[in-house]
Amino acid sequence: EVQLVESGGGLVQPGRSLKLSCAASGFTFSDYNMAWVRQAPTKGLEWVASISYGGSNTHYGDSVKGRFTISRDNAKSTLYLQMDSLRSEDTATYYCARPRYYGSYNWFAYWGQGTLVTVSS
């Protein structure tokens, strides 16, 4: 069974940093591209970033480019999101997501339960 478990969320002050983790199990993590998607309270879904299965290719949403860094450790089956220079508008539940099959990256068949990040002084 595919499982994605996010951690690392919490309350952080504006301008500070936070690193999210997503522990994957139930599939060969190193075969799959991965992504982060977020959802601000009572708002819609926003794609944040994607990373290729080997980690060499990354893509970012306009609102986080230059501030967030997606990375992965295939040996640990873990996905990361380093968030720097956090702003109040980054407040959201952050989901780790996996595409439907290996080689794909266009849509997300598996989602974690999400971890809440609150940026406030």
Partner 1 sequence: DIQMTQSPHSLSASLGETVSIECLASEGISNYLAWYQQKPGKSPQLLIYYASSLQDGVPSRFSGSGSGTQYSLKISNMQPEDEGVYYCQQGYKYPFTFGSGTKLEIK
Q: Which residues bind partner 1 (CB under 8 A)?
A: 37, 44-47, 50, 59-62, 95, 100, 105-109, 111-114
Q: How far is the CB of 62 from partner 1 (least distance, A)?
A: 6
Q: How far is the CB of 71 from partner 1 (least distance, A)?
A: 17
Q: How far is the CB of 54 from partner 1 (least distance, A)?
A: 18
Beta carbon nearer to partner 1, 79 or 112:
112
Beta carbon nearer to partner 1, 91 or 93:
93
Token pair listed for 25: 């199990």
Within 10 Å of residue 35's Cβ, how many Cβ atoms?
24
Beta carbon nearer to partner 1, 56 or 121:
56
Q: Which three-class secondary structure state does DSSP give residue 90?
A: helix
Residue type, 49: A
CB 72 within 8 A of CB 80: yes
Q: Which three-class secondary structure state does DSSP give residue 29?
A: helix
